[in-house]
Amino acid sequence: LPPPRAAEFSPSLDSDFTFTLPAGRKECFYQPMRRDASLELEYQVLDGAGLDVDFHLLSPKGETLVFDERKSDGVHTVETEDGDYMFCFDNTFSTISEKVIFFELILDNMGEDGQDQEDWKKYVTGTDLLDMKLEDILESINSVKARLSKSVQIQTLLRAFEARDRNIQESNFDRVNFWSMVNLGVMVVVSAVQVYMLKSLFEDKRKSRT
C-alpha cells in the first residue's frame, strides 16, 4: 500500500473537514497541541458501504490513546501535552468501497483567550465607579462567544447527520427502484409465459379435434 498522506491544521480553536477516503487507503493528520490544553475530536462516516472506518489517535510519544474499530462515528476528548498528536482514518479493510468522512477539531485552553484577558485587564483600572465594570463586560462577551461557538458546533454536527441520512435515503431509494423494476420484469415475463401456455393448450385441443 502507498504510504499515508499527512496534513497539518492551523492552530485555530475550531476546524472541520470532509474528505473522501479511497478503498484500501489510510489517511493521517497531525495537530500541534500545548500542555494542559484540551483536544476534542468528533467524526462521522457520511457515505460508503457499511458506514464504518477504523480510527486511531496517537500521542506525541507514539502511544495509542484511542482505537475505534469499524465505527460509524465517535467523540473523543483528551488532555494534551506539548507535541504533535496524530489521528488516522483507516479504510484498508475495504477493497471496493470508498468512504466520505467528516470530522471536527475543537481546541480549548490554547493560550489565546488568556492573552486576550490580560490585554483587557490593562483597561480595568479606574472603572470602580461604573455600574458595570469592564470585567463584567468581558465575562458577558466570553459567555456569548462560548455559546455562539457551541451553536456553530451543533449546527455543523447537524449538517453532518443530515448529509449522512440523505445519503442513506438516496441509497435506499435507488435500491427500491431497482428491485421494483426487477419485480415488474418478472411479472411481465410470468404473464407472457402464462398467456403462451394457455394459448398453446387451446391450440392442441383444436388440432386433436380435426
The verdict on 98 and 152 lying in the same domain is: no
pLDDT higher than 90, residue 48: no
The verdict on 103 and 156 lying in the same domain is: no
pLDDT in tens, 64-81: 999 999 998 898 999 999
pTM here is 0.57
The verdict on 96 and 10 lying in the same domain is: yes
The C-alpha atoms of residue 98 and residue 21 are separated, in whole angstroms, by: 6
Predicted pLDDT of residue 78: 92
The verdict on 1 and 105 lying in the same domain is: yes
The verdict on 64 and 16 lying in the same domain is: yes
The verdict on 15 and 66 lying in the same domain is: yes
The verdict on 156 and 77 lying in the same domain is: no
Q: Per-residue DSSP letters for 109-172?
A: --SHHHHHHHHHHTTTTT-TTSSS-HHHHHHHHHHHHHHHHHHHHHHHHHHHHHHHHHHHHHHH
pLDDT higher than 60, residue 56: yes
Tell me the pLDDT band of 82, cut-offs 50, 70 and 90.
very high
pLDDT in tens, 11-43: 457 788 889 999 999 999 999 999 888 898 999
Rg (CA), the chain: 30
Identify whether 165 is part of a domain.
yes
**Which of 60, 86, 110 is where one domain is finished?**
110
Identify whether 139 is part of a domain.
no
The verdict on 157 and 102 lying in the same domain is: no
**Which of 110, 137, 165 is where one domain is finished?**
110
Predicted pLDDT of residue 25: 93
Number of compact structural domains in the chain: 2
Kindly report the CATH number assigned to the domain that includes residue 16.
2.60.120.380
**Residue 103: domain span:** 1-110
